[in-house]
Amino acid sequence: MTARPRVAVIGGGIAGLAAALDLAERADVTVFEAKDRLGGPMQTVDFAGTRIDTGPDSFLARRPEMIDLATRLGLGHTLVAPAVGEAAVWSRGALRKMPAGMVLGVPRSMKSLAASGIVSRAGVARAALDKVLPRSKVGADIGVGDLVRRRLGHEVQERLVDPLLGGIHAGRSELLSAAVAAPQLLGAARGARSLMESLPTLPPSSDPVFLTVPSGLGDVVGAALAALDAAGTTIATNTPIGELRFAAGGCDVVSVSGDAIAFDGVVLATPSPVTARLLTRLAPDAASALSTVTYASVVLTLFAYKSDALREPFRLSGFLVPRPEKKLLSAISWSSAKWAHHRGEGTELVRASTGRIDDRRHEDIDDADLVARLHDEIVAAIGLRAPAPIEARVNRWPNALPQFKVDHLTKVAGRSHAAAAQAAFPLALAGSAYEGLGLPACVASGRAAAARVLDALKA
Ligand SMILES: Cc1cc2nc3c(=O)[nH]c(=O)nc-3n(C[C@H](O)[C@H](O)[C@H](O)COP(=O)(O)OP(=O)(O)OC[C@H]3O[C@@H](n4cnc5c(N)ncnc54)[C@H](O)[C@@H]3O)c2cc1C
């Protein structure tokens, strides 16, 4: 092929944008996005006199992909780590600090677990059996919660691992693939008999675990859009794609309104139900694997309080709420403690998370009532003296977080990538539904899809 190939990227979230940035170096690219804005849940809004994220507010710094992307987009020098690392769990009637040095909710020592008070004495005694129970048989994959429950008992699973890992995924930790969500624990389980004693050593505490762009992660999306514009990429927002049609030498991308444009290759970076629908005839095996992925809906509500409503300054990055507490809240991020750039004069900024795969109560609660009920729970948790927040904003993210069941990497990700590679034109899949939903994994997935399509176009 001598002229620059034409490649469509369908879905303008971070995975699609990462794919488009690489593709644009060697192809004429069009990004099709159903909504009126790019970035999916990466969105920064004006709130209480500042700018704050309504979706992701940070990313894992121990993977390079988001740091590399921010650097490539001219934002690398702005990256900052949280000002506070310590967090708590709202467990057994009180906020209790999490044991230091945990790996994905698994404590490093019995002493730190007992001192935290997060589990009962019986729970501590059960966790101690980890050191004497026979080694657990672990295959290629296992539910994270299942693994932890076997070794350390149900209290550690329900009150530490599930709120932490289940919270990130808004899922149930028993069903969550350890290979996707907790490879460190899977590796440890294959080590010595005791899970606790096999935990990987932590990197030096000077290395940040998380980073963010202080002006908001929406700025990564804005910078990606500017870079794509400069590279001559066409950005078609408000353009949901309804069909992909094989055409001689390539593929017709057909919008829901019926417009068809011919492309030589396609990156599909849409959520699995959409991807499955678009691939029904072109790659039926991928469509059938992807149609098994379910999604959790979550709500992220922003609150602003006057600082003098606090009895004493809140110095933790936030707290998690275990399922057995039966609250609407699943987690609180106390942004004004967590981030130096959110320390406002006399104002506290708080991000409250609600909703899990098996907790859809928020869907039946209107915004005003949700704010009131979450506020009451925040008051109960930290003893706030405020009849109401000074400002609140509800951000609903329906069907936003894919659930990775055991064996997801082989049965869904591997199978659908393989089926896409067999399509009659260069096609690759990207996004949070494959190798992980964290932003670095999404960027990696987008870049890998771009490389696969470019390779296929060369062949
Ligand atoms: C509230 C919340 C908090 C989070 N916090 C964090 C965090 O702190 N750190 C972290 O690393 N991750 C976090 N995540 C996860 C992370 O944000 C997501 O996994 C990631 O943004 C998903 O990117 P994506 O490109 O795969 O999908 P998306 O961003 O969902 O992009 C898919 C795009 O496809 C578009 N689309 C759908 N159908 C069509 C169609 N027919 N035609 C064209 N376009 C279509 C959609 O509109 C969407 O823009 C959070 C997620 C949420 C919801």
Q: pLDDT tens digit string along 220-255?
A: 999 999 999 999 999 999 999 999 999 988 999 999
Domain hosting residue 173, numbered range: 99-198
- Residue 85 has a pLDDT of 87
Q: How far apart are CA 235 and CA 248, in angstroms?
A: 25
User: Which of the residue ranges 61-65, 200-204, 342-346 has the most confident prediction, judged by mean pLDDT?
Assistant: 61-65
- Dihedral angle sign, alpha carbons of residues 45, 48, 51, 56: negative
Q: How far apart are CA 263 and CA 8, in angstroms?
A: 6
**3-state DSSP assignment of residue 297:** strand
- Residue 167 has a pLDDT of 86
330 and 278 housed in the same domain: no
Distance 12 CA to ligand 1 centre (A): 9
411 and 342 housed in the same domain: no
Percent of the chain's residues with pLDDT above 70: 99
Mutate to test the pocket of ligand 1, among 14, 53, 259, 295 (most ligand atoms within 8 A of CB): 14
106 and 172 housed in the same domain: yes
Number of structural domains in the chain: 3
Summarised one tens digit per residue, pLDDT across range 421-449 is 999 999 999 999 999 999 999 999 999 99
Final residue before a domain boundary, out of 134, 166, 198: 198
Mutate to test the pocket of ligand 1, among 442, 443, 447 (most ligand atoms within 8 A of CB): 442
Ligand 1 atom closest to the CA of 54, numbered from 1: 1
285 and 300 housed in the same domain: no
Summarised one tens digit per residue, pLDDT across range 137-164 is 899 999 999 999 999 999 999 999 999 9
Distance 205 CA to ligand 1 centre (A): 30
* ipTM of this predicted structure: 0.99
pLDDT at 64 over 70: yes
Looking at the domain assignment, is residue 48 inside a domain?
no
Q: What is the mean pLDDT of residues 288-308?
A: 97
pLDDT at 205 over 90: no
Q: Which residue has the higher pLDDT, 166 or 385?
A: 385
pLDDT band at 204 (very low <50, low <70, confident <90, very high): low
Looking at the domain assignment, is residue 207 inside a domain?
no
How many residues are recorded in the chain?
Answer: 459
105 and 171 housed in the same domain: yes
Looking at the domain assignment, is residue 47 inside a domain?
no
Any alpha helices (H) in 231-283, and if so which ranges? Answer: 272-279
100: buried, middle or exposed (CB in 10 Å: 19+, 13-18, 0-12)? middle
Cβ 355 under 6 angstroms from ligand 1: no
Distance 178 CA to ligand 1 centre (A): 21
Q: What is the mean pLDDT of residues 190-211?
A: 84
pLDDT at 41 over 70: yes
387 and 416 housed in the same domain: no
pLDDT at 190 over 60: yes
Looking at the domain assignment, is residue 277 inside a domain?
yes
Cβ 431 under 6 angstroms from ligand 1: yes
**Nearest-10 crossing angle of helices 439-458, 65-72:** 70
312 and 179 housed in the same domain: no
User: What does the mean pLDDT of the chain come to?
Assistant: 95
- Residue 2 has a pLDDT of 58
Q: What is the mean pLDDT of residues 39-52?
A: 97
301 and 252 housed in the same domain: no
351 and 412 housed in the same domain: no
Looking at the domain assignment, is residue 91 inside a domain?
no
pLDDT band at 1 (very low <50, low <70, confident <90, very high): low
- The residues near 414 (Cβ < 8 Å, ≥ 6 apart) are none
Is there a contact between 404 and 181 (Cβ–Cβ < 8 Å)? yes
pLDDT at 208 over 60: yes
Mutate to test the pocket of ligand 1, among 297, 302, 439, 447 (most ligand atoms within 8 A of CB): 439
